[in-house]
């Protein structure tokens, strides 16, 4: 017996309580609270993964240590703390070399979908409730860039076009002329750096 959750309003369909398997519901069945179609519902397995991640959070994995170190490296650089920045960078590279996770674009799409459908939404809810403007900023930018990344995986990147990445927010632009400013974080386009293919 499983539970199925409405991604729009959070309504939980509990097979045990309802006495009818979710898959046996008619195709035109809709969320009784918000009317979302049956096809959008997700099995509660998603929630189980979140519980597992909570365990992981107590101990950062190599990839997370690497990312935090490179984040601190860039903060040191902004403060003109060159030696500190270099040491954090060195740690970031060391931990990055120790990560080993295999996968393919399908795995990436699945993770991106989960970020867009769940992680960013929940984060926005909490950040709004706690009035954390900084968190709301990073959620807004990250969510937009994540949508762009999803569209890039789904489409073919034209080989005759240049690729630029915004070094402030991670926005990716495909085309030969850079936009005046980054459409996501609004930084002038000198921060949009071409990625060498």
Partner 1 sequence: MSELRAVRNLRICSKDCLCLFVCPTGATDTETGQIDFEKCIGCGACSKACPSGAISMVPYKYPKQQEKDSEVIERLKKITSSKVEQEQIAKYVYKNGSDKEKVLAKIIMKSNRLITEDLYREAGYMLPQSDNTKKFLEELLEKDKTNKEDIERLLKLLGFK
Using CB under 8 A as the binding rule, the residues of this chain from 28 to 57 that contact partner 1 are: 50, 53-54, 56-57
β-strands 163-166, 172-174: how paired?
antiparallel
Quote the CA–CA distance of 139 and 123 in Å, as a whole number: 7
What is the phi/psi pair of residue 175, to 5°?
160, 165
Binding partner 1 (rule: CB under 8 A), the pick from 8, 25, 46, 135 is 135
Quote the CA–CA distance of 137 and 155 in Å, as a whole number: 28
Q: At what angle do helices 133-154 and 120-129 cross, to 10 degrees?
A: 170
Quote the CA–CA distance of 27 and 32 in Å, as a whole number: 14
45/108 with CB nearer partner 1: 108
Using CB under 8 A as the binding rule, the residues of this chain from 104 to 133 that contact partner 1 are: 104-105, 107-108, 111-112, 114-115, 119-120, 122-123, 126-127, 130, 132
Find, among 187, 174, 107, 180, the residue nearest to 141 by Cα: 187
Binding partner 1 (rule: CB under 8 A), the pick from 46, 165, 181, 187 is 165
Q: Does 153 bind partner 1 (CB under 8 A)?
A: yes
The contacts of residue 39 (CB under 8 Å, 6+ apart) are none
Stretch of 3-11, 16-24, 35-43, 164-172 contacting partner 1, by CB under 8 A: 164-172
Q: Does 138 bind partner 1 (CB under 8 A)?
A: yes
Cα dihedral 90, 94, 99, 100 sign: positive
- Binding-site size for partner 1 (CB under 8 A) equals 73
Binding partner 1 (rule: CB under 8 A), the pick from 74, 140, 187, 189 is 74
- For the CB of residue 13, give the shortest distance to partner 1 in the complex, in Å: 24
Stretch of 8-16, 26-34, 35-43, 142-150 contacting partner 1, by CB under 8 A: 142-150
Q: Does 184 bind partner 1 (CB under 8 A)?
A: no
Q: Does 93 bind partner 1 (CB under 8 A)?
A: no
């Amino acid at each position: 017996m499983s539970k199925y959750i409405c991604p729009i309003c959070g309504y939980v369909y509990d097979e045990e309580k309802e006495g009818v398997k979710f898959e046996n519901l008619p195709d035109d069945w809709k969320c009784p609270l918000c009317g979302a179609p049956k096809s959008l519902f997700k099995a509660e397995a998603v929630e189980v993964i979140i519980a597992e991640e909570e365990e992981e959070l107590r101990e950062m994995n190599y990839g997370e240590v690497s990312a935090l170190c490179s984040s601190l490296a860039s903060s040191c650089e902004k403060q003109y703390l060159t030696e500190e920045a270099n040491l954090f960078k060195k740690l970031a590279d060391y931990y990055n070399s120790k990560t080993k996770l295999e996968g393919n674009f399908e795995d990436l799409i699945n993770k991106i979908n989960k970020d867009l459908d769940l992680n960013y939404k929940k984060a926005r809810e909490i950040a709004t409730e706690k009035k954390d403007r900084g968190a709301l900023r990073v959620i807004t930018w990250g969510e937009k860039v994540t949508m762009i990344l999803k569209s890039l995986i789904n489409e073919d990147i034209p080989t005759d076009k240049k690729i630029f990445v915004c070094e402030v927010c991670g926005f990716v632009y495909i085309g030969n002329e850079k936009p005046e400013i980054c459409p996501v974080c609004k930084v002038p386009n000198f921060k949009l750096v071409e990625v060498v293919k």
